[in-house]
Amino acid sequence: MGNHPEAPGIFRMMPRIRLRLRCLGGSLLLVTSASAQSPPAFPFDSTLARQYLREAAALTARDSGRLWGRSLAGSLLFVDPGTRSLLSDTPDAEAQLHPLGGLYAGRLAEAEPVANTGLRWGGRTWAMLVWPLPADSVARAVLVGHELWHRIQDSLGLPGRDPPNPHLAGRDGRLWLRLEGRALRRAIEGKAPARDRALRDALLFRAYRQRLTPGADSTERLLELNEGLAEYTGVTLAAAETELRQSLVLRRLATLDSVAHFERDFAYHTGPAYGFLLDEVAPGWRSGLGPDADLAALLAQALSTSTGARVATARSRASGYGYAVLLREENAGRARRLAHLATLKKRFVSGPLLELPLAQLKLGFDPGAVESLDSLGTVYGSLRLSDRWGVLQTDASGGMISPDWVRLVVPAPADTAGRRLAGPGWALELAPGWRLTPGRRAGDWTVQPVSP
């Protein structure tokens, strides 16, 4: 879905809340009574499924544990987003999958998000892949490698974390990230010593950007260790030849000049680039990599350079990467972003709202449609979310989650009767034992458990 059909899932822990967040890889379908009543048709082409399973086995066999010191081979679970049907060549441990022509088939429960992700289900750890997989064989291999890495990342001592990066929605965050991307491209295309000069420029632009927002170095680092390393793994496994790997990395960096939202999307672009460059200048960098690692700092160490940033130096070096043009572009886009933010605030703040408490959240979303709404929260486009109160699905207009992850808001429904509720761009199936009640403001609503 969106910019990243290969986008994987992540897991996040918050105090008092168990969150299971997954990035969507297929289209969401709003809950309807027809879909609940009609038996789903079997959606898989079993010949293609077997081909993809063989490809995955060949991919991990070729790596043979060299990349991360252990095999990436693991069970794949194909899922169709429309019918929630499942297919694998591996049985689960809880008999939720049933034999079917040498494969195993089943159906995913409504509470589980359909996503490209690593997950624990049926007593087994899987790499879940949304059907259909990419038609392009290289893109398909990147996706498979990405999700297989997520499947084992905890065992590598690199747990998935998904901190927000709202500073990358503003002009300066966007500007200096684009400049960093351009410097990384020049470094990858060049040879020493020009390569090393471009690398130092990329590190300088990053350090300057992060200096503008205290704490940004930590939140960016954590997302790169999660999605950045997963995408690096997918690219590295998919492209055995250096030239193809370089092409894939450069292609991702180039799209930084066209991506709409960087807040969660950036790591898919920068992670493969830093991994590719570290492979060149610091072989063995993956050995002993832990949760406190910083890819940019590892690169700076290999180059024996400081990551400090001075305003005059950063702007002087940026002139060679199109600073003036990029600044004009970001200034021109600022008015559009402000108007867009005003629309989001009307939808999620000032208008009548439905507020849903979050306690046992499972969330699937499109990483290319994640937007920061100032300090009010984060808007997740095209999401599917379940909690104790039921299952919510939205279209691209999404829903907003508060910064502390205790509530989700969407526009209030016009009709509040029944268990199947709908509002602008969303549908909600209330779980038994829950009901709608008036909220804090006139016109607002919330949900509460029915009293015994």
The answer on pLDDT for 3 being more than 90 is: no
The SS3 call for residue 1 is coil
Q: Residue 279: inside a domain, yes or no?
A: yes
What pLDDT digit, counting tens, does each position of 208-262 carry?
999 999 999 999 999 999 999 999 999 999 999 999 999 999 999 999 999 989 9
Do both 261 and 235 map to the same domain? yes
Do both 342 and 229 map to the same domain? no
Do both 122 and 178 map to the same domain? no
Do both 357 and 439 map to the same domain? yes
DSSP-assigned states of every residue in 24-81: --S------HHHHHSPPPP---HHHHHHHHHHHHHHHHHHTTTTTSS----EEEEE-T
Mean pLDDT along residues 323-331:
96
Domain boundary among 274, 294, 321: 321
The answer on pLDDT for 355 being more than 80 is: yes
Q: Residue 58: inside a domain, yes or no?
A: yes
| CA 313 – CA 204 distance, rounded (Å) | 8
Do both 362 and 442 map to the same domain? yes
Q: Residue 328: inside a domain, yes or no?
A: no
- Confidence at residue 367, expressed as pLDDT on a 0 to 100 scale: 82
Q: Residue 89: inside a domain, yes or no?
A: yes
- Confidence at residue 40, expressed as pLDDT on a 0 to 100 scale: 59
Number of domains in the chain: 3
Do both 314 and 372 map to the same domain? no
Among 51-55, 145-149, 372-376, name the one with the lowest average pLDDT. Answer: 372-376
Q: Are strands 445-449 and 353-357 parallel, antiparallel or unpaired?
A: parallel
Q: What is the mean pLDDT of the chain?
A: 90
Domain boundary among 116, 134, 152: 134
Do both 175 and 266 map to the same domain? yes
Do both 236 and 306 map to the same domain? yes
| CA 263 – CA 363 distance, rounded (Å) | 17
- Confidence at residue 451, expressed as pLDDT on a 0 to 100 scale: 81
Domain boundary among 321, 347, 372: 321
C-alpha dist (Å) from residue 413 to 226, 359, 418: 36, 22, 12
What pLDDT digit, counting tens, does each position of 77-98 carry?
999 999 999 999 999 999 999 9
- Confidence at residue 311, expressed as pLDDT on a 0 to 100 scale: 72
Q: Residue 2: inside a domain, yes or no?
A: no
Tell me the pLDDT band of 109, cut-offs 50, 70 and 90.
very high
Buried b (16+ CB within 10 A) or exposed e, 431-450: beebebeebeeeeebbbeee
The answer on pLDDT for 7 being more than 70 is: no
Q: Residue 48: inside a domain, yes or no?
A: yes
Do both 300 and 344 map to the same domain? no
Do both 175 and 315 map to the same domain? yes
What pLDDT digit, counting tens, does each position of 420-445 carry?
999 999 999 999 999 999 999 999 99
Q: Residue 155: inside a domain, yes or no?
A: no
- % the chain with pLDDT above 70: 90
Tell me which residue range forms the domain holding 120. 10-134
The answer to whether the CB of 103 falls within 8 A of the CB of 87 is yes
Among 312-316, 351-355, 366-370, 381-385, name the one with the lowest average pLDDT. Answer: 366-370
| CA 445 – CA 432 distance, rounded (Å) | 18
What pLDDT digit, counting tens, does each position of 33-67 carry?
334 445 557 899 999 999 999 999 999 999 999 99
How many angstroms separate the first and last alpha carbons of the chain? 42
Do both 208 and 109 map to the same domain? no
Tell me the pLDDT band of 368, cut-offs 50, 70 and 90.
confident
Do both 304 and 352 map to the same domain? no
Mean pLDDT along residues 401-430:
95
Q: Residue 4: inside a domain, yes or no?
A: no
Tokens of 43: 């959606």
Tell me the pLDDT band of 2, cut-offs 50, 70 and 90.
very low
Mean pLDDT along residues 338-352:
94
Tell me the pLDDT band of 17, cut-offs 50, 70 and 90.
very low
Tokens of 62: 């070729």
The answer to whether the CB of 228 falls within 8 A of the CB of 252 is no
The answer on pLDDT for 404 being more than 50 is: yes
What pLDDT digit, counting tens, does each position of 150-184 carry?
999 999 999 999 888 999 999 999 999 999 999 99
The answer on pLDDT for 22 being more than 80 is: no
